[in-house]
Amino acid sequence: MQWASLLLFAVVVAALMAGFPVAFTLAGVSLAFATVMSMLALVGIGTFDASYLEAIPSRVFGTMTNETLVAVPLFVFMGFMLERAHIAEALLETMGQLFGRVRGGLALSVMVVGGLLAASTGIVGATVVTMGLLSLPTMLRRGYDPKVATGTLCAAGTLGQIIPPSIILVLLGDVLSSAYSQAQLRLGNYAPDTVSVGDLFAGALIPGLVLVALYMAYLVLKGVLEPESMPPMPPDTSGSALLPRLLKALVAPLALILAVLGSIIAGVATPTEAASFGALGAMVLAVLRGALSLQRLREVMHGTVKMSSMVFMILIGASVFSLVFRGLGGDDLVHELLTNVPGGLIGALIAVNLAMFLLGFIIDFIEIIYVVVPLTAPTLFTMGVDPVWLGVLLAMNLQTSFLTPPFGFALFYLRGVAPPEVKTSDIYRGVVPFVAIQLLMLVVLVVFPSLATWLPGRLYGH
């Protein structure tokens, strides 16, 4: 049945390239394949287990009732409200002025604001949609190359996957803790140390900040080499007048974002509760600016429903696809490749990261964490891999997969909010440099593992 999983992948690629909607393509093609393979199994051709399809209702129900995912419409509402009240435009333009006359100053400000907003959500869909609503119209209006603008937004929107607090790190912490305990028991250690989510948060902080620095260095270099792609902000503000504008534009919105992030880090609120606070705070800021009316509120709510539906339909479509892919033996094919790879520890690490990178093209990161990681992590731990370092490395890898064409989900989310004049090819081409930077960051983590292990050691003594 392994050939069928490869064929499924090829057909989905072709359908997406033909321009069919993402969510319906993922689910529709997968269900069509499942139907055909079930009929073939009845006549003795193949062994597709149709019971996988019975899990679809529970997957859909689980997606719609997931407390964490409830934060998606709340953060989308926050983004719409900030955008419709013109708070985002003032924020981004003023931060561009703060960076001076440096070409790409607006892109740099987007990366900073995007990093803060991404860290407050930890959900790629909500973050990319919110940043797209906040920033893309302003960047295009300022004359930015659509490839630069969309690439910057996609990259900034996925920072929440590596900068704590991160949902990926929370899920990885749970899985790796169990896998590490299993590995230590196999080695005869019956009182093993535990791996906590806090360890991964501390381990991911420095690599996440280094990644942001690399992104910003690329944008500065891009502005120098191709100045026409990133026009500077117009010098319409004198130095003496910049500080009042800076305080007026930055203090309230950034205080809101930092309050959302801080409440999660301090354990005062869950992501969903913090998202509720963010949505309310955005409304308060709109009222203070005199930009909130009943008509505008109606527009924001309508846009929130529309965009949230798009996000959840993609999640549901991805879940259906992953179920059929597993039913066709795709995960078994991956497992066989990993368990028989030559090269010892280095070969195993390369194989695991390559497999996760490729699987990230086609299935949801939650599936990868709960299917691939439990199969591979215990073996890697018995070979002497540090659990915190491995967790950060895998999280960085999974973040990369969100940007990888043709199936990077961040690309689809941004496509849903981008204006018609922005081509899909612009989005794909725009993220290529950022994917290269993330692959470079993976290499840096392998060469310098202390980037992930130093801070947890200082904080927790291990």
In terms of average pLDDT, the best of 33-42, 267-276, 298-307 is 298-307
Residue 209 and residue 50: Cα distance in Å, rounded?
A: 45
Predicted pLDDT of residue 406: 65
261 close to 116: Cβ distance less than 8 angstroms: yes
Question: What's the chain's average pLDDT?
Answer: 79
Cβ(293)–Cβ(85) under 8 Å? Answer: no
pLDDT tens-digit map of 235-249 = 654 455 667 777 777
Q: Rounded CA gap, 413 and 153, in Å? A: 11
* Residue 68 confidence (pLDDT): 66
Structural tokens at position 417: 């909010």
- Indicate whether 111 pLDDT > 90: no
The residue that leads in pLDDT, 32 or 257, is: 32
Rounded Cα–Cα distance for residues 135 and 114 (Å)? 9
Which residue would you say has higher pLDDT here, 103 or 273?
A: 273
Among residues 330, 356, 318, 446, the alpha carbon closest in space to that of 172 is found at: 356
What CA–CA distance (Å, rounded) separates 203 from 250?
30
Tens-digit pLDDT profile for residues 209-224: 899 999 999 998 988 8
What's the 3-state SS for the chain? CHHHHHHHHHHHHHHHHCCCCHHHHHHHHHHHHHHHHHHHHHCCCCCCCHHHHHHHHHHHHHHHHCCCCCHHHHHHHHHHHHHHCCHHHHHHHHHHHHCCCCCCHHHHHHHHHHHHHHHHHCCHHHHHHHHHHHHHHHHHHCCCCHHHHHHHHHHHHCHHHCCCCCHHHHHHHHHHHHHHHHHHHHCCCCCCCCCCHHHHHHHHHHHHHHHHHHHHHHHHHHHHHCHHHCCCCCCCCCHHHHHHHHHHHHHHHHHHHHHHHHHHHCCCCCHHHHHHHHHHHHHHHHHHCCCCCHHHHHHHHHHHHHHHHHHHHHHHHHHHHHHHHHHCCHHHHHHHHHHCCCCHHHHHHHHHHHHHHHHCCCCCHHHHHHHHHHHHHHHHHHCCCCHHHHHHHHHHHHHHHCCCCCCCHHHHHHHHHCCCCCCHHHHHHHHHHHHHHHHHHHHHHHHCCHHHHHHHHHHHCC
Closest alpha carbon to 331 in 359, 357, 350:
359
Instruction: Give the closest residue to 327 by CA, choosing from 76, 44, 2, 7.
Output: 2
Residues in the chain, total: 462
Q: Return the ∠ at Cα 16 (arms to 12 and 19), rounded to 5°.
A: 150
Dig out the tokens for 292 from the structure: 């909130």
What mean pLDDT comes out for the span 396-404? 84
Half-sphere exposure of 392 (CA within 13 A, CB side): 35
pLDDT, residue 214, reads 95
Is the pLDDT assigned to residue 115 strictly greater than 60? yes
pTM value?
A: 0.70
Closest CA to 148 of 227, 210, 91, 79: 227
pLDDT digits (tens, 9 = 90+) for 49-107: 777 778 888 878 877 777 767 877 887 888 778 777 776 667 666 776 776 567 777 88
| Cα 391 from Cα 110, distance rounded (Å) | 28
Using the predicted structure, report yes or no on whether residue 196 has a pLDDT greater than 70: yes
As a whole number of Å, the end-to-end CA separation of the chain is: 45
Q: Are 430 and 151 spatial neighbours (Cβ–Cβ below 8 Å)?
A: yes
Six-digit token string for 128: 């990319």
Q: How far apart are CA 349 and CA 390, in angstroms?
A: 9
Task: Give the CA-trace dihedral at 136, 396, 342, 405, to 10 degrees.
Answer: -10
